[in-house]
A and B are shown apart, each in its own frame.
Chain A
Amino acid sequence: MEEQYRLELRNVSKNFGEVQSLRNVNFKLGQNEVVGLLGDNGAGKSTLIKIVTGYHQPSSGEIYFNGERVENLTVPRARELGVETVYQERALAELQTLWRNIFLGRELTNRYGLLRVNEMKRETNRLMTESMGFTSSAVDPEAKIATFSGGEKQGVAIVRALYFEAEIIILDEPTMGLSLKETEKLVKFVRDIREAGKSAIFIDHNIVHVYNVADRIVVLDRGEVAGEFVAEEISLDQLMENMIKIAETGTF
């Protein structure tokens, strides 16, 4: 019997009008695995992610979750299937309060359809202190996101993903705009994801960051999978060399 992947894309292509953003991409994410996704701007990383999160529908190809084919994947459906995304900080609503951002798009309601505001504020407090190590006095659920630092914003995005018990956590350029210390915290967080038996896709420009946390590294180039490496079987230098070759020739 075939190994069951948590997520599998088979021959996925995506066109935006004339532009082919992804071409016959095969992508697998195992149980308990962190896959690093590398590639230049326009290589198709974002498109791939947006297909997995249900934001874009593939032009052709198939998507499998835990071995079962899923058609017409939408954002809410992907969330039900346990996909959570930590987008770059721009995916927060800056003028809104912390608690609204944590529960963005998935607000808790009572049986009359009314928001459980106090509970959401309480949960926000708990999550920020327990998961992110803030002291309770530093957390103000009513604070607006615009007043947060880059690292704090990233922290909010991560807490948001954690709270909803994701199975697959996608981190889209998570180290962008972070200080060194904040980056270390993030790397630890990704390792925790694996420890907790979950899977993650880690996208970054920084090869070192990706190499440090990923079990497997997939390189996209011009919409195609140009290389796939198991981190344990390759040194960072070799990976770098291959990346340069891919950038020049499209293969290694």
Chain B
Amino acid sequence: MDTQLEQPDSITGRLQLRRYLRANATQLGIIAVFLVVWLFFIISAPETFLASRIYRAFMSTVPFFAIIAMPLTLAIIAGEIDLSFGSIMAMGMVAFVLVYEPTGNVLLAIVAALATGTVIGLINGIIVVGIGIPSLVATLGTQFFWRGASLVILSGSGAALADARGSGVYQALVGQAIGRIPNQMWWLLLIAIFTWVLLNRTRLGAHIYLIGDNEQSARLMGVNANRTRLVVFAFVGTAAALGGVLASFHTSYFWPSLGEGYLLQTLGAVFLGGTSVFGGVGTILGTFLGSFIIGAIGAAIVAIGLTGFWTELIYGLILVASVAMHSVLQQRINR
């Protein structure tokens, strides 16, 4: 007997709305947080947050870490973490400099940077998967190792990239092709869409959720958990190298300390966006919005009139608060 057919539309409508809310609770939550924070900024510092200049500034600087936050979201959903991406940014640029200085070929140098990032990411993956060291500890170690390596290889010196400015690749990466929107924003959008498709529309993505949720079950059902992890770590490495290239191009200089200070912002963006620190849960939209909230906070702290000293304190607070909030929310939903 199917009594459902006789029910008035309003009841099925309400049922569907409830289902929709339930299925998308995390994403709706982050959208709400985004709007509330934004409103708060506008009220606190209207002259800053009602002008278009600040938004161009966000679109200019947020992509550097948001691009890394995308694959990092995958890693955290899979129950892993990568703390070494800041050092991978620097190592990618070391490879860039080593190729660019003798050849003068920007494109080739970028390929070298991305390849280096991918290989380092893969090494992280091999340490975690092959030796079985928890990724938190493994990448804490590789973070220092690669930072040290980048300093040793270039003897701690930076490199000027002003000569590269003339190249088309340079313009394509950090110039302005459409209106006054910085091109790195388009790259971020492209990578966000790519990562979304990977996570939501491929078997790899399905397996990322599964191994983060219940690895034993995933293995029993024939999921190759190790290969999935390797791909994710490699992807974080590639994205970190790209983030490093973009950030260095933006300042026309490679600083050997490149990537330091990105850790808190990037992790903050992922966790604020609703990705569960326990794995199995997380969205790309959440990380995307989380990145811009984190990016706006830095500007807002100054615009509201606090000193820059507050930035780290507030980032740290947001990180802990968002992890706690989402954990509580998650427990509620699942009960």
B56 within 8 Å of A by Cβ?
no
How many residue pairs, one in A and one in B, have C-beta atoms under 8 Å apart?
A: 104
A208 within 8 Å of B by Cβ?
no
A109 and B12 alpha carbons, distance in the complex (Å): 31
B-binding segment of A134-142, A186-194, A197-205: A134-142
A85 and B216 alpha carbons, distance in the complex (Å): 14
B222 touches which of A76, A143, A147 (Cβ 8 Å): A76
CB neighbours (8 Å) of A55 from chain B are 219-220
Q: When A140-B19, A147-B334 are in contact, do A91 and B221 touch as well, CB less than 8 Å?
A: yes
Q: Which of A107-142 contact B (CB under 8 A)?
A: 107, 109, 113-115, 117, 135-137, 140, 142
- Can you list 19 pairs linking A and B with CB atoms under 8 Å apart? A75-B221, A85-B220, A92-B214, A93-B217, A95-B209, A95-B281, A96-B210, A96-B280, A105-B207, A113-B202, A114-B197, A136-B2, A137-B2, A137-B3, A137-B4, A137-B15, A142-B22, A144-B334, A146-B334
B201 within 8 Å of A by Cβ?
yes
A126 shortest CB reach to chain B, Å = 14
Say whether B4 contacts A136, CB under 8 Å: yes
Binding site of B, secondary structure by majority: helix, strand, loop or mixed?
helix
A230 within 8 Å of B by Cβ?
no
A100 within 8 Å of B by Cβ?
yes
B280 touches which of A76, A79, A95, A109 (Cβ 8 Å): A95
Shortest Cβ-Cβ A-B pairs, 3 listed? A105-B221, A75-B222, A137-B4
Say whether A96 contacts B223, CB under 8 Å: no
Q: Could you mark each residue 96-109 of chain A with 1 if its beta carbon is under 8 Å from any beta carbon of chain B, else 0?
A: 11001001111101
A90 and B279 alpha carbons, distance in the complex (Å): 17
Q: Could you mark each residue 46-73 of chain A with 1 if its beta carbon is under 8 Å from any beta carbon of chain B, else 0?
A: 0000000111000000000000000000
Interface size class of B (residues with CB under 8 A): 35 or more
Q: Which of B171-225 contact A (CB under 8 A)?
A: 197, 200-203, 205-207, 209-210, 213-214, 216-223
Q: When A87-B220, A137-B4, A147-B334 are in contact, do A94 and B203 touch as well, CB less than 8 Å?
A: no
A140 and B276 alpha carbons, distance in the complex (Å): 23
A53 and B222 alpha carbons, distance in the complex (Å): 10
Say whether B220 contacts A94, CB under 8 Å: no
A140: nearest chain-B partner, CB-CB: B19
A100 and B4 alpha carbons, distance in the complex (Å): 25
Say whether B210 contacts A117, CB under 8 Å: no
Say whether A105 contacts B202, CB under 8 Å: no
CB neighbours (8 Å) of B206 from chain A are 100, 103-104, 107, 115
Say whether A95 contacts B221, CB under 8 Å: no
B25: nearest chain-A partner, CB-CB: A144
Query: A-side interface residues toward B, CB under 8 Å?
Result: 53-55, 74-76, 79, 85, 87, 90-97, 100, 103-107, 109, 113-115, 117, 135-137, 140, 142-144, 146-147
Say whether B216 contacts A91, CB under 8 Å: yes
A73 shortest CB reach to chain B, Å = 12
Binding site of A, secondary structure by majority: helix, strand, loop or mixed?
loop
CB neighbours (8 Å) of B221 from chain A are 75, 91, 104-106
A169 and B51 alpha carbons, distance in the complex (Å): 65
Q: When A90-B217, A144-B334 are in contact, do A114 and B281 touch as well, CB less than 8 Å?
A: no
A105: nearest chain-B partner, CB-CB: B221
A113 and B15 alpha carbons, distance in the complex (Å): 33
A91 and B19 alpha carbons, distance in the complex (Å): 25
B162 within 8 Å of A by Cβ?
no
Say whether A94 contacts B15, CB under 8 Å: no
CB neighbours (8 Å) of A91 from chain B are 214, 216-217, 220-221
Say whether A90 contacts B15, CB under 8 Å: no
A117 and B214 alpha carbons, distance in the complex (Å): 21
B23 within 8 Å of A by Cβ?
yes
Q: When A93-B213, A107-B206 are in contact, do A144 and B220 touch as well, CB less than 8 Å?
A: no
Say whether B4 contacts A135, CB under 8 Å: yes
A50: nearest chain-B partner, CB-CB: B220
A137 and B224 alpha carbons, distance in the complex (Å): 35
CB neighbours (8 Å) of A104 from chain B are 206, 210, 217-218, 221, 223
